[in-house]
Each structure stands twice: as C-alpha cells, then as structure tokens.
Structure 1
Amino acid sequence: MDLVTKSAAELGELIASGETSAVEVAEAHLDRIAAVDGKVRAFLHVDRDTTLAQAREVDERRAAGEDLGPLAGVPIAHKDVFTTRDMPTTAGSKILDGWRPPYDATITARLRAKGLVILGKTNMDEFAMGSSTENSAFGPSHNPWDLARVPGGSSGGSSAAVAAYQAPLSTGTDTGGSIRQPAAVTGIVGMKPTYGGSSRYGVIAFASSLDTPGPFARTVLDAALLHEVFSGHDAMDSTSVDAPVPPVVEAARRADVNGLRVGVVKQFAGEGAEPGVAARFEEAVELLESLGAKIVEVSCPHFTYALSAYYLIAPSEASSNLARFDAMRYGLRVGDDGTRSAEEVMALTRAQGFGPEVKRRIMLGTYALSSGYYDAYYGKAQQVRTLVKRDFDTAFEQVDVLVSPTTPTTAFPIGERVDDPMAMYLADLYTIPANLTGNAAISVPCGLADGLPVGLQVMAPVLGDDRSYRVAAAVERALEDRWSGPLLAKAPEL
C-alpha cells in the first residue's frame, strides 16, 4: 500500500477501519521526507521521534474508543509561523533561530485535539514577507515540478511539501496571497478563509488586519476537511468571528455549479497574465459555463489599486508588529558583552537578525506612519481599501462568486526576481483584493502552461467560504475526468 499517494480523506478512512495505523502512515511520510527533502527543502524542522510519539498517542486514543474525527492519524506539515511548544518556531528568521515557544497556537492545539500528526515545521519567507520563499533566512524551498523554480511564498515550504507527497496536508497563512499563490504554482489546492474565520492566536504577526491561516491539500475535499478542523470562534483572538463555520465539507462534496452566477472580473480577466495562464483561465470559465453556471462580466474598477494600497497597509502593520523583536526578551541577542547599552544591543540584533526584505518593509511602513505622511500614505491606502470592499459588495449583488487567474505567471526561476521587489510583488496582483476586504478565496489547479501548473482563483463573500469550495470542487471533478486523474499525479518524479 503506497500510503503517501493517498488523499487525507482516504488515509483517515484507512486508519479508522484498522487497515493501517497512524504510526504506519507517519513512518511512510517520514521516509518520503528523508528521501526527497534534500532536493525540495520544504522543511526547517523534522523530529522523527516526536512525530511517531504523536502517532502512537492517536492510535492509543482510537483504541480507547475516543471519537477523533475524519482526519485522526493523518500527517500534516505545519508552517513555521504557528507556535508549537514541542518544536522550534522561527518564522523563517535568524532573529528567532532556535526559539521554542512555551505555548501552542490555537490552530496547533486544534490539530492535536483532532488527532492530526504534525510531521514538522515548513520553510517560509521571513515573517511571511515574500512570494517565493527566497526570503527565508535558511535558504529557499524548491518547486517539485521543476527544482530550479520557486514554490511560491510566503508559504512555499508548505506548498512544496504537499506537492512532493511529503505530506497530504499542510497549513499556511495568507496575508496578500501567501496560500493561494504557492498553491497555484505547485498544482495543489490552497484556501484563504474569511478573515477572522480561523484563529490568529499564536501566529507570529506580519499584518494583523490581513493575516489569515488556511489549508493546503491535494484535493478540494481534503482542504475542506482541514478547514473545518481548525476554524471557528476563538476567544483568545479579538478579531475572531463569532459565527458558525460555513458548511465547507458539504460544499466540497456537492461539487455542482448548475445555476450559479459566476462573475469574471473584467480588470483581472487575463490582464497582465502570461499567454498560457490566460488561456487556461479562459478554458476554466468555458468549463464552468458548460457545467451550468451563468457567466457574467463584472467590473471592479478599484481592484487595480489594491496592490499599491496593500504595500502601504501591510508594511505599516509590520513596522508596528516587528518592534517586539528587540533582543531583550527572547530570540537572538547580538553584542551583549557588558559594554553596550540596551539601545546598541537592540540595533545590532535587528541589523543582523532581520533580512533585507523585512528591513525594507519596516522602513517603508515606518515612513508611511510617520508624522506628516500618515494621511497622505497610510490614510489614503485605507480609503482605497474601502473602495475595494465596495467593489466586492456591488459585484456580489450581481453574482455568487468571482473568478480570476490566481497568479499572472507560472512558477518563475529561483533568483530571477530576488533583486527586483516590484516584479516580486506583482505575483500577488490577483490575490490581494480579497485580503484587503477579508473575503474568502481559493485556488484550484486548472491546467498546465509550458508544463507548469496554473491556478484558478474563486472568490466568495465574507463567510461564503462554502461557495468557493463548491465551485473549486466542480472544476476539480470536471478536469479530473478530462485528464483521467488528478493534475498532481502528472508531476515529475523527484
């Protein structure tokens, strides 16, 4: 039995039926990590003994008759931005190298409670700032489709782990596209839930009004099952939405778009996209129409300003959030030889502990918040944010969901954009509007361009997460029939 190629839902059923055990499934995935991660570099930390201890505990809980849910015993890779009391948490930064938190993030705790087995912590752009994982202080991850290309970012380690069959599931965070963009370029499913629908407690903050934890998986149903596990109100997070979790699993199983009104965003209908990406998007829209959806062109005129507004709002919040890394309480401390003041130690630590992109964003955000510039930059950006929200509100009066390409390009070569921040930022062109407004959005594979995966983005209203899953599942099912199997199965052997 080749356990690493099974879906999370299939593994859960096999474990529940006794055909295999959580320990056997964990061992299979740990062996896969040992075999291929030297090339993929998806993980920053893996501890075989800790993982197997978790798996044994799940088997013991099941033997004792405990009802653990459909994903009990299923392995998961965990983005290194979530605190874990039994593993280091670095956020991809030297300033937190080796830090072991004294507590679990809410999502970490919920994974454990439902019996998921954490395989390890995955690589990421430092403090989630980036679109390629090249900003990690520990080196880049690699795209399993082409090891010379990026796996996206900031959650590139999580997307690469799932695409390389090192884990059936993984977690990510999406601040400007950091789940959907890597999912698109690695040929997997990635979901940004409604902002506040998944807890930020224990997530090392980048931009507090934007950061949204979400799932990665190889199937839409698997993503929905994981979404359901870690979503729901959390009193520890003041931005958590006190509302029922949308029926995402039911929607993923339904996989039907007959009668749905699907809006094509005029401003994003392939504009700025590579020809292959634009072609796959057009084919996906035609596919949805053939499945019974009504296609409507929708104008969202302020979406074109979202990228500019984001790169004022997000750095401003980062400037505030990252002030806590001061060498005084935890993490890296440089120059503390008894002769320097606290201010000097702080300056030396931050200079050596933060990478170039983090420093760039701190400086940009600090400038945007400074006296005399606040209204002109940060204030104006927030006004644009309101206009983008109004575009969404108007659009959803006409349609049930909106669709666009997830990314303008397929995975680009490692090193190609590392010295060109503007080119790097454009990777999030289509994803950022949903972050500014808190809307739900998913990326689902919709084909290949020049042998590399392309993603379709499905955006839904706030707390309409189930609509995204319903449309994504319909696309997935129709394309699997066309390809005679999942897209990911066509990925090259590592």
Structure 2
Amino acid sequence: MSDLNKLGLAEARDALRKGDVTSVELTESCLKAIDDADALNAFVHKTPEIALERAKAADERIKAGDAPSMCGLPIGIKDLFCTKGVPSQAASKILEGFKPEYESTVSQQLADAGAVMLGKLNMDEFAMGSSNETSVYGNAVSPWRRGNDDAQLTPGGSSGGSASAVAADLCLAATGTDTGGSIRQPAAFVGITGIKPTYGRCSRWGIVAFASSLDQAGPMTKNVRDAAIMLETMCGHDAKDSTSAELAVPNFEAMLTGDIKGKKIGIPKEYRMDGMPAEIEKLWADGAAMLKDAGAEIVDISLPHTKYALPAYYVIAPAEASSNLARYDGVRYGRRAQLAQGDGITEMYEKTRAEGFGHEVQRRVMIGTYVLSAGFYDAYYNRARRVRTLIKKDFEDVFAAGVDAILTPATPSASFGLGEMTEADPVQMYLNDVFTVTVNLAGLPGISVPAGLDKQGLPLGLQLIGRPWDEGDLLNTAYALENAAGFVAKPSKWW
C-alpha cells in the first residue's frame, strides 16, 4: 500500500489488525510526508526517534493481540501539551528551552494506548489567536488555496498546525485545544472534523493553561468515526485535575449508527448575524435540510443572550490568562532576559515578560489585568460572569424543552489570507469566534463537520452543539450529517 499517510484512524487500525501494514510502515510514511511539507510549517518539533520506537512497540503489541483502537496510529500533538523530554513551548519565546520532566494526562493516555507521537504542532502563542499568526515559530499555512491564487491562507487558530497537518495528511489525526473555538474553527477552515468535548471530559493536567474555566482538549481528525475513536482514548477522570469529571467513558464509536429519526435539532435565530455571507446562510439551510431528510425534526429556538457572548468571553478569557501567565517571569524555567548592572527582580520580570510575550499575549494580559483591577472588577469581570450564567441557562432551557442538538455555522467565513486581518484591528479577528465561544462559556460539547465548499473552492463547516456529557449522541448526529453532506474534497498538493 502506498500513501499510507492518507489513511484515517479507522482504516489504518483495521489494516494493522489484518496484518496488511505495520505501524512502522505507517509511521515512516507520515515522517516522509512531514519532511516534504516544511512549507506548511505545521510540525515545529519533529520526534522521529520517539515515533519509530513507539511504532515498533505497537507492532509487538498488535502481534500479541493486546491492542486498543489507537495502538500503532501516528498522530501529532499540539505544542500546548507538555511532552516529557520534548520541547513544549506553547509557541512562545518565553518558554524557549523548556523540556518538561512530565507528560500531560491526555498525551500520556494516547501513549499508553499505543498511539505514535510524530512531533509537536504549531499553534498561536499560548493559544491566543484565530489564524496561527502569533506563533514564535512563524505562521502555520493552510494546505488549501483559493482557485488559482497562490496567496497563503490561514489554517485557523489556535490549533492551526494540527488542522494543517491533518488536512495535508502529514499525520492520521492530531490533538487540539479549544478555549473559544480553537478546535472547531480551524477544522472548518481546512475541511476536517474537530470536536470540543464537554468541559471536564478530558483532563487539563499538563496542558499549558490559557483560560482555565474554558480550556478543553479534543481530537482533530479526518472524519467523525476517527473523532469518536480518538476522543474515547483522550477522555477519563484524572485525580490531578480538580475539574475532571468522574464519569464512565462510553464506546463512542459503537454509538455511530447514523440513525437520528425523531431527534430534535434546534436552529437558533440569534445566530443569523447581519452581513452573514450568503454562502454560509445557504450551507446552514442545506445542513438543516439534510438532517430533516435523515429523519430529524428541525425546530426554531432562541438563545437570547447570544449577543453578549463575545464581549463576556473577551473579559473572562483575558482575566484568567493574566492570572495563569503570571508564572512566566524568568525565575525558574524558560527564558530570562539579559539584565544590566544594578537591575533587580522587578527589572528582571519586566524585561523577561516584555521580550518573551508576543503582542497578542501582551494585549490580553493587559486587558485581563485591567478587568481584574480593584476599580473595575465588578463593572467588568463579575458582570461578565453573570452574563455567562445567563448564556448557560439559555442552553439549559432549550435542552430541557427536548432539543437534542443545535445546528449553527462553524465560522462566519471561509479561510482568509495570512496577513489579511492584521494587528490594525484585533477586534475583526476576535469576530471569528462569534459562533463558537458560547459553547465554551456554557461548557458544552461542540463539533465542526465539513459540509461544502465556497465559490473559491475553500471548505466550509457546520457546527453541532450537544447536551452536556452527551458526546456519543452528538457524534452520531454529526455522523448522519457527514454521510448526508458527502464531503470528500482534499487540497491539491502544492507544498
């Protein structure tokens, strides 16, 4: 078999079990694809020795007949996950040279299941961004192009490296994290599947924190079945994370029947934004029609506090970030600035943080510190928290009324060119999260499924939002949508 890197997780797993292919062959195919794809800047720390060692161990395990689903499958790990002995920088200059002495719970669970780590993936610095343009490694680049235009496009953010690597078949799947849409938006931009599970479903231990009440890890895969397989391995209770839920993890793959007869799918009227492109509007209507044809009942719903979600998010997330990022000060690990004669500890903090943090991180730390300061705490932070409670209640009311899932667009547009939304107006960039942040504020599971192409030939995604802890049902609805949409487009290789 040639082009083994083009397989999905389920196909590769089945081929491994049959003995048609070995994990070493799969891994070597991916390592070659990675070496040929430096133009995408997706993999920023390559780990071929670790990969081949794990692949050999996986082959032994498969031979012995003791192999979980993920065993022997080559994947990429976002640079936000701490990986023992491997640089884990969160794409920031301030963590230069940091090689953790421990492994994040999620990457450990994947390793324990026999998954093969190919390397670390590019991302926005500290996961702050929607276009992967804030990384110390430089921009990650989408494998997609607009028609015959050779302008470089964003793979989305913050999990841009993960999105680009999966879409370009550099790995079979990848881990991502989602604080305000950082799995779902890049997945939509590059035509792959990305699921953010319920807050607490995956452990956050060992994942560099951005906003602790919003961050959640999830898989980025080539299709819904693969998302179900990988998510099951990533989930589970972890005593090291106080927000981790002590709930049994179901066999998500076994729940993929594609039967959604009688399911109620809500269409929120508040997501019909002014100026929404006609293509997104049409995609949304088509998605609803597909689910209806599959036997679901489509109902109009209202989520009245949606319009306050972005402002509330951009108060809460920077507030938590300013608190979390206070630990990066040049004292114990990471980068320390060169100090002048007579500089004290205050100068060390100031110079290290000024040098180590990029502009977007500095901007969010300053916003966060401002909204948490004595005179503004009630006016901003506490008010945003109250708004968050109302947003959560909107969803609770809809689900209590019998709605099983909610269908929305995943993004307000297709992928845009790198540099097209520059620093001149950061708010323009923040609007990319308009359909995704509510899900994080309410702690719900959400999945992005590729559903069509725009007139320039770029992927567009639809988002399904599910009930808390009901990822199995959500994945099954997504599976029905995927089958109906029949999205098979791939980027033409130019890199």
Check whether TM > 0.5.
yes
| Aligned residues of 1:218 and 1:488 also touching (Cα < 8 A) | no
Task: For 1:137 and 1:274, locate their aligned partners in 2 and report how far apart those are by CA, in whole Å.
Answer: 33
Partner of 1:91: 90
Where do residues 327-406 of structure 1 align in structure 2 (5 Å cutoff)? Answer: 327-336=330-339, 339-398=342-401, 399-406=403-410
Partner of 2:292: 289
Report Cα offsets for 1:115-170 as digits up to 9, x if no partner. Answer: 00001000000000000000111111111112611000000000100000101100
**Corresponding letter in the other structure for 2:469:** L
**Corresponding letter in the other structure for 1:473:** Y
Residue 270 of structure 1 and its aligned partner are, at CA, apart by: 5.7
SS of equivalent to 2:462:
strand
Gaps of 5+ in 1: 481-485
Partner of 1:446: 451
Task: Identify the match of residue 460 of structure 1 among 463, 466, 471.
Answer: 466
Report Cα offsets for 1:466-489 as digits up to 9, x if no partner. Answer: 222111100111222xxxxx4243
Residue 60 of structure 1 and its aligned partner are, at CA, apart by: 2.6
**Corresponding letter in the other structure for 2:235:** S
Is residue 313 of structure 1 aligned with residue 316 of structure 2? yes
Report Cα offsets for 1:292-317 as digits up to 9, x if no partner. Answer: 11000001010111000000000000
Partner of 2:33: 32
| Aligned residues of 2:449 and 2:482 also touching (Cα < 8 A) | yes
Task: For 2:480 and 2:341, locate their aligned partners in 1 and report how far apart those are by CA, in whole Å.
Answer: 64
Report Cα offsets for 1:85-107 as digits up to 9, x if no partner. Answer: 13110001000122100000001
Task: For 2:143 and 2:169, locate their aligned partners in 1 and report how far apart those are by CA, in whole Å.
Answer: 9
**Corresponding letter in the other structure for 1:13:** D
Residue 337 of structure 1 and its aligned partner are, at CA, apart by: 5.7
Task: Identify the match of residue 298 of structure 1 among 287, 298, 301.
Answer: 301
SS of equivalent to 1:120:
strand
Partner of 2:492: 492
Task: For 2:292 and 2:353, locate their aligned partners in 1 and report how far apart those are by CA, in whole Å.
Answer: 53
| Aligned residues of 2:155 and 2:415 also touching (Cα < 8 A) | yes
Residue 338 of structure 1 and its aligned partner are, at CA, apart by: 6.1
Pair 1:16–1:338, CA change in 2 (3 A):
farther
| Aligned residues of 1:191 and 1:215 also touching (Cα < 8 A) | yes
Task: Identify the match of residue 430 of structure 2 among 417, 425, 445.
Answer: 425
Query: TM-score, normalised to structure 2's length?
Result: 0.96
Is residue 477 of structure 1 aligned with residue 483 of structure 2? yes
Residue 428 of structure 1 and its aligned partner are, at CA, apart by: 0.5
**Corresponding letter in the other structure for 2:220:** F
Task: For 1:71 and 1:193, locate their aligned partners in 2 and report how far apart those are by CA, in whole Å.
Answer: 18
SS of equivalent to 2:36:
helix
Report Cα offsets for 1:401-424 as digits up to 9, x if no partner. Answer: 111000001001110112221110
Task: For 1:284 and 1:315, locate their aligned partners in 2 and report how far apart those are by CA, in whole Å.
Answer: 34
SS of equivalent to 1:340:
coil
Task: For 1:345 and 1:410, locate their aligned partners in 2 and report how far apart those are by CA, in whole Å.
Answer: 43
Is residue 162 of structure 1 aligned with residue 161 of structure 2? no
| Aligned residues of 1:201 and 1:237 also touching (Cα < 8 A) | yes
| Aligned residues of 2:70 and 2:110 also touching (Cα < 8 A) | no
Residue 221 of structure 1 and its aligned partner are, at CA, apart by: 0.4
Partner of 1:483: none
Task: For 2:388 and 2:208, locate their aligned partners in 1 and report how far apart those are by CA, in whole Å.
Answer: 24
Residue 21 of structure 1 and its aligned partner are, at CA, apart by: 0.9
Task: For 2:342 and 2:110, locate their aligned partners in 1 and report how far apart those are by CA, in whole Å.
Answer: 46
How many residues in Structure 1 have an aligned counterpart in Structure 2? 485
Runs of 4+ in 1 over 3 A off after TM superposition: 269-272, 336-339
Partner of 1:7: 8
SS of equivalent to 2:464:
strand
**Corresponding letter in the other structure for 2:180:** G
Task: For 2:327 and 2:348, locate their aligned partners in 1 and report how far apart those are by CA, in whole Å.
Answer: 14
Residue 269 of structure 1 and its aligned partner are, at CA, apart by: 3.7
Partner of 1:21: 22
Gaps of 5+ in 2: 146-150
**Corresponding letter in the other structure for 1:128:** A
| Aligned residues of 1:58 and 1:73 also touching (Cα < 8 A) | yes
RMSD: 1.3
Query: TM-score, normalised to structure 1's length?
Result: 0.96
Residue 202 of structure 1 and its aligned partner are, at CA, apart by: 0.1
Partner of 2:148: none
Question: Identical aligned pairs, as a percentage?
Answer: 45
Task: For 2:340 and 2:110, locate their aligned partners in 1 and report how far apart those are by CA, in whole Å.
Answer: 42
